[in-house]
Amino acid sequence: MKFDRNTVIGFAILAVLFIGYFYFTNKQQSEYRKTKATELAIQKAKEDSIIKLNKPAEDSVKKIIDSTTKVAKVGNFTKALDSTEKLVVIQNSLMKITFTNKGGKVKQVELKNYKEHDSSLVKLASSDFDKIGYRINTDGNNSEETANLSFSQIDTITKDGNTIISFTLQAEDSSGAFITHEYVVKPDDYMIDFNVKMNGADKMLNQGVMNLSWQYSAAQQETDISFEKQNTQIGYVKDGSFDYHTIGRKSSKNFDENVKWVGVRQRFFFSILIAKDNFSEGKMEWTIPDDSTRMVVHAVANMKVPVKAGAPTVVPFSIYYGPSDYQILKKYDLKFEKLVNLGQGMYSFVRPINKYIIMPIFNFLRGLTSNLGIVIMLLTIFIRLLTSPLIYKSYLSGAKMKALRPEIAKLKEKTGSDKQAMSMEQMKLFREAGVNPLGGCIPALLQIPIFFALFSYFNSEVALRGASFLWATDLSAFDDPIKFGFHIPLLGSHLSLFCITAVITSFLISLYSMSMTPDQSNPIMKYMPYIFPIFLLFFFNRLPSALTWYYTVSNLITLVLQYIIQNYIIDHDKILAKIAENRKKPKAKSKWQERMEQMQEQQKKMKEMQQRNKR
């Protein structure tokens, strides 16, 4: 295609016109946008100015409405409007309690014998969420929660060695109504007596029932909050029977029967509300906050308490703020100690082991040394001595199995690839030699209940909290000298050194056991002793270092005993002579052996029939 001169000039002029058009159009739009933005900014500034001018008036109106509402709510108790908070600190040998006139309640409890990881004292009931109170009728038409009222009168006295602090709120009319919250702090006790004294209870309470609300927030006390949540429970005694719920499995509990107490145990610390005359009914609810809040659980108990008519009326309670220590809790004889996890749920079968064996020995050894790492080592030695007769028999069985290895090798050559025939011949050999092929399983079987007993005990023994040993700074938690800085699935963000020692010693035991037993034709059984220690690595890495230290010591004892028994105690020549002697004796088959042989014989016949059918 050819373009003449006039055509080219025409296209050039059109291009210039289009470019000019778009340039001036965009310029006008840009100026418009700037102008519009300026107008909007001016308009917003005007609106903000109007809002700012109106806000003081709105705030004043809101304050007047709030003030009027508050005045109406307090009714005849006008002194309850005092906004000045007054704190009173009472101490005994075990704790430091801060009381406040706001609600006439405990504001904070600090335990003198237990410290946070920043070396400050452990604090309980110290958040804004924590409160205790009940609704009262302040006049004919209004009501309010006592937790929102300021108690105007504070009195502190000492009587019989106890410190008694009272918060009183007096009605301003001629009725003579008053409320007193009296707390009795004893010299060497974690239990605080809490008495509610009321004059005019028949008017202040509806239908003679106090609807008590107890809010408790358990703050994180341990390094691993997820593990702490797993070991946090709600406990109670209803109709004389104890029960509990792990916080992650339920979120509420209704009570239709008499309830003596409700409590929250967060692994090592326990807060309990006790009604001395029993709660008649109620409900307890709890939520699990996000880990980032550093709160383990928020619990709310709404409980009903029948109040007897009288002037004045006294409603007695007690509140326990202290450690989840089995020995301390047991002294109160209120079944508090049942919430200490010595074995619960499917592991309740180990509770007697902990209660009657592990705990008494552990406490006895603590009297010999304050180093709890050494106490655990001595406890391990004691357990191994206790189980030594059975373990020796298992080692003897292992030695016999080792002596039979040449015979088993000959049977393999004889039977070839026929596994069924090999199994029958091997059982016959074991019977003739008087060998129990399951005898070597006894140590592993013994470890199961002992391990689960110690797993429960070391997770609940408060004495281990903060106890250091070697590189572990807290035997109740995992030791983490090796930190990755990132999270590995199933393993975590650290590597426990005691976990490594437990895994290595388990691996050495597996190697030794493999050298003692006949060659395994089953590949799964052959490699299981090597797979098991790897499994332990992932399972043990987040467990308390007290448990992995115990497992390490137990494994070391096993290795030493196996070496000594096999090389210096057991006479292999005598074992071979004994086997030969047993072969000459007629053997009576047990019913189990007869059934096994019948099953093997039937399987052999079925296999032969299948092979004939294939042909």
Same domain membership, residue 270 and residue 166: yes
Same domain membership, residue 368 and residue 267: no
Same domain membership, residue 301 and residue 269: yes
Residue 467 pLDDT greater than 50, yes or no: yes
Helix (H, G, I), strand (E, B), or coil: what is residue 109? strand
Residue where a domain terminates, one of 33, 58, 74: 74
> What is the model's pLDDT at position 49?
62
Residue where a domain terminates, one of 315, 340, 365: 340
Q: What is the CATH number of the domain that holds 284?
A: 2.70.98.90
Same domain membership, residue 433 and residue 413: yes
Weakest-pLDDT range from 273-287, 359-373, 456-470, 597-611: 597-611
In-domain check, residue 493: no
Total structural domains in the chain?
4
Q: Could you list the residue range(s) of the whole structural domain that residue 423 is in?
A: 350-481+544-583
Same domain membership, residue 577 and residue 592: no
Residue where a domain terminates, one of 55, 74, 93: 74
Same domain membership, residue 196 and residue 48: no
Q: Which two tokens stand for residue 275?
A: 């009604």
Of the pLDDT bands very low, low, confident and very high (cuts 50, 70, 90), residue 208 is confident
Residue 193 pLDDT greater than 80, yes or no: yes
> What is the model's pLDDT at position 262?
95
Same domain membership, residue 357 and residue 276: no
Cα separation, 373 vs 547, in Å, equals: 10
Phi-psi region of 125 (alpha: psi -120 to 50; beta: other; left: phi over 0): left
Same domain membership, residue 550 and residue 608: no
For residue range 111-151, list pLDDT tens digits in order: 999 998 888 999 999 999 999 999 988 877 788 888 988 89
Same domain membership, residue 386 and residue 261: no
Cα separation, 513 vs 507, in Å, equals: 10
> What is the model's pLDDT at position 10?
52
For residue range 335-368, list pLDDT tens digits in order: 999 999 998 888 888 999 999 999 999 999 999 9
Backbone dihedral angles phi then psi of residue 278, each to the nearest 5 degrees:
75, 145
Same domain membership, residue 179 and residue 217: yes
% the chain with pLDDT above 90 = 38
Kindly write down the DSSP assignment for every residue of 399-412, as one continuous string.
HHHHHTHHHHHHHH
Same domain membership, residue 226 and residue 87: yes
In-domain check, residue 131: yes
Same domain membership, residue 395 and residue 307: no
In-domain check, residue 25: yes
Sheet strand arrangement including 153-159? 153-159, 162-170, 178-185, 191-199, 313-323, 269-279, 259-266, 232-238, 241-246
In-domain check, residue 528: no
